[in-house]
Amino acid sequence: MIGVEKGAWREAAVKDAHIEICLAHDVESPAATGLDGLALVGGLPDFSVSDIDTNVRFLGKTLALPLIVAPITGGGSRSLQINRNLATAAAVCRIGMAVGSQRPMMEKAAGAESYRVREWAPDIPLLANLGLLHARNGRDYLLEAVESIGADALMLYVNPLHEILQADGRTDFARALDALEEAVEGFPYPVFLKEVGCGLPEPVVRWASARKIAGVDVAGLGGTNWPRIEGLMQGKDFSPYERLGTCTRDAIAGARKWLRRDQYLIAGGGLRTGVDMAKALALGATLTSMALPLLRWASVSTARVVEGVARLKEELTVALWFTASKRVGEIEGKVCSPLPFFS
């Protein structure tokens, strides 16, 4: 029992430290997302702005805009309030949400309370969250993660760089995809793969495109930077690793090349405005995800999250209007890389 308590204390301390670092420090990548180098292609809208529809379907439910709260936290002393604020706001705004890693909960190093957000968001698409390596624990383990919180799907993070930099990271990825393929055979819930800020490698996307994977979140380089966070956590210089990865723009384009049209392409990694969302959608994403801005808003209040999401929706609507796109799907392809101007 003492060991469990010590383990729970340590897990809570780590989760709280991650939150505090993200709230108090500059944890964003020194590398750019690549989205600033893209230009949306303007058009003349042959409709009223009131006709614009930002709704999308996801996991059998309708979202008011193509946005998911990316996995953020769980298991820490602040996690419950943050997740409650996020879930309550997600319900109000009609966006999706993934919980933070459930590993502490599954390993009995933390309680399940901070992950059980269904009571505050009964109707939104909710995604459970574990790591790719947890597929080695088998189908029943993955199933418990989903059903214990009433989720609609499972998101598995693929994070080899983050693992090798963590103090107690797991660094044996041998046959990890084989274990996943076996675990999801006959799995009754959609399964997604997600990076955590380095860009999902194209070989992984190619693998997913040929298998029973519902979609991917590319989580490209350019947003929250885990080498920087781990360096701050451990008092080490991890700056040589801060630019490793594929920028969000290229990660989206690479994933679009391989994914089937019945698979979701979620664009995460440094998106900060509705215009960023529009550019990601124009590159072929079906949805977008964000973490750091939502964490910072949720640390204040539910109302702050609702306000921030409302602004994103307004910015996305303006971008759709500018490109003469009445619906979200119509913006695909309306983007280019402008040539440099020479005087």
315: enclosing H helix or E strand: helix 302-322
What is the predicted pLDDT for the residue at 343?
47
CB 267 within 8 A of CB 288: yes
At CB < 8 A and 24+ separation, what contacts does 330-334 make? Answer: 331/40, 331/278, 331/281, 331/282, 332/281, 332/282, 332/283, 332/284, 333/282, 333/284, 334/40, 334/41, 334/43, 334/282
pLDDT at 338: 79
What single DSSP character describes residue 25? S
Question: pLDDT value at position 11?
Answer: 73
Contact 64, 55 (CB under 8 A): yes
**Over the chain, what is the mean pLDDT?**
95
Contact at 8 Å (CB) between 79 and 15?
A: yes
pLDDT tens-digit series, residues 281-314: 999 999 999 999 999 999 999 999 999 999 999 9
* pLDDT-flagged residues of the chain (< 50): 1-7, 343
Helix, strand, or coil here: 29? coil
**pLDDT value at residue 1:** 23
Distance of alpha carbon 18 from its chain centroid, rounded?
16
Q: Which residue has the tokens 């600033």?
A: 36
Task: Please tell me the distance from the alpha carbon of residue 122 to that of residue 152, in angstroms, as a whole number.
Answer: 11
Kindly report the pTM of this predicted structure. Answer: 0.95
Query: What pLDDT does 136 receive?
Result: 97
Q: What is residue 12's predicted lDDT score, i.e. its pLDDT?
A: 79
CATH code for the part of the protein at 2-334: 3.20.20.70
Give residue 340's pLDDT. Answer: 63
Return the pLDDT at 13: 86
In this prediction, residue 342 carries a pLDDT of 52
The candidate with the shortest Cα–Cα distance to 327, out of 51, 125, 93, 40, is: 51
